[in-house]
């Protein structure tokens, strides 16, 4: 039986985009301020989950909602199970958008919306791929379990809960449509480590507060400091003008009742590629370091502006490491929180590390920094993950990619973390193609509309080859 999956996608383009638009209109950012027993990560992720499961029920699937943490449905029959893991939550939209991030719009063939590329667009492409197989009644010998989570962008609490409470055996193998083609069969480890500081400081310059960053896996787009100073606004503004011109960032300085407020604006990016962003917090500290801050503030600003600034490989931190296969460790200084009245101020450092090092080794290196009170680790850690290129799962996915694109497939190892690593034989597969512009976690996130259709055709053939 020969099926032209590209033609089948062509027949469903309008329906696929309509369903995607309706999903993108849902603000599914995590909101802990509204979390409760019925909304473990806030109401937005639950609304997206319910919407997606209702869509699946419309199309004839029997769905399950696992206590608003995650959901799934199955297709096919057989003892072996292919798991497809996608997520419906998104990182905060932030500022700097040219359009409403939750009102999708297509301009010049690009679909702009938060979640268009990470991960609602690829999720819908994969959903329609399976729908094609179902609509055509193609014979299969394995099951597909389509699983959607609601906390991938934060702590993966959705999948922790899902695997503990879903009541079914784990899928035997699977993939996540949450990265790029031709395949991601290796992922570095992922751990966030927190530097802790005291708050007491006083002198000619006193730091009252320093805040920046929305999530640990995002480069802080901006940061703001409040401080008192033995200096005039005009003098500080003159120094700031010289700094912004030299560094290529923008900033705003104001004074009210003797308190200066300074915001530096950079550019957000995915935490796995911190070099692609401009860290507003480290630039802010770099500027403030020229002044006579003392005590805890001096240590906080020194580490932020002198050590963390552009230290993407953690060389100045003293924990750099490179593995021949998985590459180099990377570091994103993601969230900053300092208050003069607090004795526990923090900087959250998100590390993507290869095999050969680990969280405790990194922690031991960080503990050598001067001026910190302690180092702690996040509750959630992902250790390095790798599926050999010889594995039939990897071989099949690469073969389909090569057939449909005419491009040579090859293995890839990334610093990003995907649900592909949830299974021992799990990978990430698409939906972004080589040469794509990566706007994940950034303002004006977009996906190429034709790329989503191309991905749907690849997913359809790949799923069928794995389960026929």
Cβ pair 213, 268 in contact under 8 A: no
Q: How far is CA 288 from the centre of its chain?
A: 30
Reading across the β-sheet that carries 81-87, which strands appear in turn? 63-66, 70-76, 143-149, 81-87, 173-176, 426-428
Considering only 1-10, 167-176, 237-246, 338-347, which range has the smallest mean pLDDT? 1-10
Residue 155 has pLDDT above 90, yes or no: no
Locate tokens 């055709």: which residue?
457
Measured CA to CA, the distance from residue 393 to residue 389 in angstroms comes to: 9
| CATH number of the structural domain 190-377 | 3.30.70.360
With a CB cutoff of 8 Å and minimum separation 6, the contacts of 191 are 350, 351, 353, 359, 362, 377, 378, 381, 382
Say if CB 428 and CB 78 are below 8 A apart: no
Q: Which fold has domain 5-188+384-467?
A: Aminopeptidase (3.40.630)
Rounded Cα–Cα distance for residues 321 and 365 (Å): 12
Query: By the 8 A CB rule, do 461 and 133 touch?
Result: no
Share of the chain above pLDDT 70, in %: 100
pLDDT band at 236 (very low <50, low <70, confident <90, very high): very high
- Cα 194 to Cα 395: distance, rounded to the nearest angstrom: 40
Mean pLDDT (the chain, rounded): 97
Please spell the DSSP secondary structure of 310-330, one letter per residue.
T-TT-TTTT---EETTTEE-E
Regarding beta strands 327-328 and 322-323, do their DSSP bridges make them parallel or antiparallel, or are they unpaired?
Answer: antiparallel
Position with higher pLDDT, 342 vs 217: 342
- Give residue-wise pLDDT tens across range 89-143: 999 998 899 999 999 999 999 999 999 999 999 999 999 999 999 999 999 999 9
Q: Do domains 5-188+384-467 and 190-377 have the same CATH topology?
A: no
Q: What per-residue confidence (pLDDT) applies to 416? A: 80
Average pLDDT over every residue of 437-442: 91
Identify the band that residue 415 occupies on the pLDDT scale cut at 50, 70 and 90. Answer: confident
Between the alpha carbon of residue 343 and those of residues 243, 338, 346, 373, the distances in Å are 31, 9, 10, 10
| 143: region left, alpha or beta (phi > 0 left; psi from -120 to 50 alpha) | beta
pLDDT tier for residue 237 given thresholds of 50, 70 and 90: very high
pLDDT digits (tens, 9 = 90+) for 20-62: 999 999 999 999 999 999 999 999 999 999 999 999 999 999 9
Q: Is 255 annotated as catalytic?
A: no
What pLDDT, in 10s, does the model give residues 162-196? 999 999 999 999 999 999 999 999 999 999 999 99
50 is catalytic: no
- Determine the Cα–Cα distance for residues 439 and 276; give it in Å rounded to an integer: 10
Show the tokens assigned to 290: 């020229």
Does residue 196 or residue 381 have the better pLDDT?
A: 196
In this structure, what DSSP letter does residue 264 have? Answer: E
Q: Which of 266, 423, 243 is nearest to 333 (CA)?
A: 266
Query: How many whole angstroms separate alpha carbon 317 and alpha carbon 313?
Result: 9
Catalytic residue among 152, 178, 451, 461: 152
Catalytic residue among 89, 193, 302, 461: 89
CA-wise closest residue to 419 among 20, 169, 153, 208: 153
- Residues in CB range of 143: below 8 A, 6 or more apart: 74, 75, 76, 77, 78, 80, 81, 82, 467
Closest to 59 (Cα-Cα) out of 117, 146, 121: 146
pTM of this prediction?
A: 0.80
Return the higher-pLDDT residue of 454 and 417. 454
Cβ contact 417:190 at 8 Å: yes
Domain residue spans of the chain: 5-188+384-467, 190-377
Which residues contact residue 100 at a Cβ distance below 8 angstroms, ignoring those fewer than 6 apart? none
Reply yes or no on whether the pLDDT at 67 is more than 70.
Answer: yes
Q: Looking at residues 226-238, what average pLDDT do you find?
A: 97
Q: What are phi and psi of 321, to 5 degrees?
A: -160, 140
Q: How confident is the model at residue 1 (pLDDT cuts 50, 70, 90)?
A: low
CA-to-CA distance for 149 and 85, rounded, in angstroms? Answer: 8
Residue 360, pLDDT above cutoff 70: yes
Find the farthest-apart pair of alpha carbons in the chain and give their distance in angstroms, rounded.
Answer: 80
* Distance between start and end Cα atoms, the chain: 11
Contact by Cβ (8 Å): 80, 58: no
Confirm if 46 and 27 have CB atoms less than 8 A apart. Answer: no
Q: Which residues contact 429 (CB under 8 A, 6 or more apart)?
A: 175, 176, 177, 179, 181, 183, 184, 397, 420, 459, 462
């Amino acid at each position: 039986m020969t099926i032209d999956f590209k033609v089948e996608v062509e027949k469903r383009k309008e329906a696929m985009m309509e369903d995607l638009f309706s999903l993108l209109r849902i603000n599914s950012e995590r909101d802990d301020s509204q979390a409760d027993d019925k909304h473990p990560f806030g109401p937005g992720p639950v609304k997206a989950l319910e919407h997606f499961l209702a869509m699946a029920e419309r199309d004839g699937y029997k769905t399950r909602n696992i206590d608003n943490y995650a959901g799934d449905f199955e297709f096919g029959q057989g003892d072996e199970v292919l798991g497809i893991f996608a997520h419906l939550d998104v990182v905060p939209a932030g500022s700097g958008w040219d359009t409403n991030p939750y009102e999708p719009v297509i301009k010049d063939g690009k679909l702009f919306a938060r979640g268009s590329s990470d991960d609602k667009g690829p999720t819908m492409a994969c959903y329609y791929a399976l729908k094609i197989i179902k609509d055509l009644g193609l014979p299969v010998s394995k099951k597909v379990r389509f699983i959607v989570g609601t906390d991938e962008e934060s702590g993966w609490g959705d999948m922790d809960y899902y695997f503990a409470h879903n009541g079914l055996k784990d899928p035997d193998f699977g993939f996540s449509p949450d990265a790029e083609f031709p395949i991601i069969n290796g992922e570095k480890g992922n751990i966030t480590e927190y530097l802790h500081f005291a708050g007491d400081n006083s002198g000619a310059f006193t730091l009252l507060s320093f805040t920046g960053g929305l999530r640990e896996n995002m480069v802080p787009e901006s940061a703001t400091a409040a401080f008192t100073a033995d200096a005039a606004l005009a003098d500080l503004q003159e120094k700031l003008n010289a700094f912004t011109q030299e560094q290529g960032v923008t900033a705003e300085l104001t004074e009210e009742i003797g308190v200066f407020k300074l915001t530096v604006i950079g550019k957000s990016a995915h935490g796995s590629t911190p070099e692609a962003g401009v860290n507003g917090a480290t630039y802010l500290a770099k500027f403030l370091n020229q002044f006579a801050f003392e005590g805890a503030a001096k240590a906080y600003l020194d580490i932020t502006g002198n050590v963390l600034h552009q230290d993407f490989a953690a060389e100045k931190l003293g924990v750099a490491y490179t593995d021949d296969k998985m590459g180099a460790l990377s570091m994103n200084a993601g969230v900053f929180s300092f208050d003069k009245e607090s004795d526990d101020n923090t900087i959250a450092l998100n590390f993507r590390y290869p095999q050969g090092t680990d969280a405790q080794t990194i922690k031991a290196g960080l503990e050598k920094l001067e001026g910190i009170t302690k180092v702690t680790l996040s509750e959630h850690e992902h250790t390095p993950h790798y599926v050999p290129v010889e594995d039939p799962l990897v071989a099949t996915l690469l073969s389909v990619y090569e057939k449909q694109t005419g491009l040579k497939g090859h293995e890839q190892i990334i610093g990003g973390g995907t649900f592909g690593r949830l299974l021992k034989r799990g990978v990430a597969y698409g939906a972004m193609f080589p040469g794509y512009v990566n706007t994940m976690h950034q303002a004006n996130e977009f996906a190429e509309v034709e790329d989503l259709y191309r991905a749907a055709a690849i997913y359809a053939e790949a799923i069928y080859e794995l389960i026929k």
